[in-house]
Chains A and B, each alone.
Chain A
Amino acid sequence: MVDRLSVHLPCGESIVRAVDEVSFTLERGQTLALVGESGCGKSMLCRAIMGLVPGRALLPAPGRIVFAGQDLGALEAGERAGLCGGRIGMVLQDPLSALNPVMKIGRQIAEPMRHHLGMTRVQARQRSIELLRAVGIAQAATRIDCYPHQLSGGMRQRVVIAIALACEPQLLIADEPTTALDVTVQAEILDLLADLQQERSMAMILVSHNLGVVAGRAHETAVMYAGRIVEQAPTGELFARMRMRYTRALFDAIPRLDDPAQATLTAIDGQSPDLAALPDGCSFAPRCAHAEARCTGEAPTLVSDGHARHRHACWFPCAVGPTA
């Protein structure tokens, strides 16, 4: 459970509000999708959960992260490190840079097991081979002695997933796991993650800037804008009844492979806001076609729209109805 979590990064004179009062709850075996444009704070939120924010970042009160009943902020650094990599695993965006280029992948997979589970070299190696098989790498017993540069991008991402799974985590954080990969490999990796999650009944946070990636793969979807969650609902409900114009814009930006005329990505008009100088009121107002006086004066809060745990933050939400 994440409760009113904020991450502020002092940057010269100003403060970048990378994450602003984000709250959500995630049950065992469930997937939460976090969607939003680049720079809206998704990665920073993930890093905050892992306890890996940059050294100068502030985590203002009353933000809390509670994992399996434990307040992570209250833990000693050592205990927290024991959770990271042990019971929480993380997959990074770019598999080409996420692996140490000068270390054999076998050792990189074995490392967390040797450290957290106290396995011997031989045990860890055995387990690493099993893990490589589990993430769908053929000839695992020989590939284990490869260096990362000897593997393709898709295989490297599988290795990163194997590392995240090494200690049987209860929570897997996948931060844009397919953004850097070929379209053909993307679906494979996403399906692999979904299968693994089912098998191991892990909770998963699946981050993406592409709403299309999330459809059918997450139980719940939260849309982030400028460091905040602006709309959150069970995924089916969200797609059926989008209330936020921003969510719709994201939806329209999904590249359609079946529609050649639309094959190029539609960008959302305007730029995502400077997180160091957010406007008063709704941070989407400068780009919103329906903004009115109230929008620039007063910030909308996340409220329930009274239907199937659907929450949104907008003074003048879209009419309920099928998305056009």
Chain B
Amino acid sequence: MRFVGGKFLHLIVVILAVTVLTFAMLDLLPTSAAYAVAGANASAHDIAAIQEDLGLGDPALVRYGKWLAGVLRGDLGVSLVSGQPVAQAVASHLPATVELVVLAQLFTLLIAVPVGLFSAWRVDSRFDRFCSALGFGLTSIPSFALAMVLVYFLALKLKWFPAVGYAPLSAGIWPNLKSLFLPAVSLALVEWVILMRVLRSELIATLQEDFILLARAKGLPAWKILLQHALRPSLFGALTVFGLQVGNLIGGAVIVEQLFALPGIGRLLLAGIFAQDFTMVQGCVLLIAVAYVAVNFLVDVGYGLLDPRVRCGGVVRG
């Protein structure tokens, strides 16, 4: 567990750095937050008053300290536009995003892992070539275009799923899953390709290894060789990609959230940017950055779970 402990310390340091950057980012913006609050017709006097109010006159370090103390208490400030606490807004938009990410990545895995395994086992087979071609085709289409096709057929024609909107978990698990199915699938249809390619190439390399030859010499059936011997040592690249994808989706599924009218973080962020709601943007960026760092921490821990050698261990001589 010393391995995880060390990584955790590292995580704390990185998150602190993230808060500094997030804070500095908005502090350095050319337009002062006071202008945004006061609106276009404000007099210089109004601006000064608001600046006083927001504590904008203090030195940067003091303001950072105050802000960080607030963040640690769960206080991200209030929206400059609506006056709603930012933390509250972020919390209310988080479930849709988290569910979307989990579901999308679940579908991604469900497609990428079996396809990667089959393709690597029979390289250049008809299946392998078909999946490669399909994959390249899918990545060259933007996910919102795919989403529109899916909506047209599965929602408008067949009426299996709602076309837009989000049913929270409190409305029941089934309506909830139904409302997220199409957005998650349209993300997964693009995401699986890169994950599969990475997994496939790593598997192909692993299958050349001597220990696979030995496993075959044991007379084990193909599925055991693939799942029990080849898969685990081939997951490093895939794990990295997976972590990056999760990180990206937390704030980056903006278009899909917009298209399906999902109340997610991506949409909140976008709305904040358009309204020049700096505290809201700051809150969202902070959340996204922390999530990114946390996911990568989990990926690092995952390496250790995958490979005992990463966890260190003495060599026994003899």
The residues of A with any CB-CB pair to B shorter than 8 Å are 47, 50, 52, 81-86, 89-90, 92-94, 97-103, 111-112, 115-116, 137-138, 143, 146-147, 149-152, 154-155, 160, 163
Contacts and interface: CB of A to CB of B under 8 A. Distances in A.
Interface in B203-249: 209-211, 213-221, 224, 228-229, 232-233
B172 interface: no
A111 B221 CA distance: 12
Interface residues of B, number: 27
A46 B219 CA distance: 15
25 contacts: A52-B213, A81-B219, A81-B221, A84-B219, A85-B217, A85-B219, A90-B214, A92-B210, A92-B214, A92-B217, A93-B210, A99-B211, A99-B214, A100-B215, A101-B233, A101-B308, A103-B229, A111-B218, A115-B218, A115-B219, A137-B318, A149-B313, A150-B314, A151-B315, A154-B318
Interface of B: 209-211, 213-221, 224, 228-229, 232-233, 306-309, 313-318
Given A83-B219, A116-B219, A146 B316 contact: yes
A111 B215 CA distance: 9
B211 A98 contact: yes
B302 to A, nearest CB: 13
Given A52-B217, A84-B219, A85-B220, A150 B315 contact: yes
Nearest to B311: A147
Contacts of B233: 100-102
A102 B232 contact: yes
Contact of B211 (A84, A101, A116): A101
Contact of A112 (B218, B229, B315): B218
Which 7 A-B pairs have CB atoms at the shortest separation, nearest pair first? Answer: A85-B219, A85-B218, A97-B210, A81-B219, A84-B219, A90-B217, A112-B218
Nearest to B218: A85
Contacts of A112: 218-220
Contacts of B215: 100, 111
Nearest to A137: B318
A149 B308 contact: yes
B313 A163 contact: no
A86 B218 CA distance: 7
Contacts of A138: 318
A97 B220 contact: no
A147 B210 contact: no
Most chain B C-beta atoms within 10 Å of own C-beta, residue among A85, A93, A146: A85
B220 A102 contact: no
A37 to B, nearest CB: 21
A322 to B, nearest CB: 41
A38 to B, nearest CB: 16
A75 to B, nearest CB: 12
Contacts of B315: 149-152
B216 to A, nearest CB: 5
B124 to A, nearest CB: 10
A102 B307 contact: yes
Nearest to A154: B318
A175 to B, nearest CB: 10
A152 B316 contact: yes
Given A83-B219, A86-B219, A92-B214, A102 B308 contact: yes
A57 to B, nearest CB: 14
Nearest to A97: B210
A310 to B, nearest CB: 33
Given A147-B309, A149-B309, A98 B220 contact: no
Contacts of A89: 217
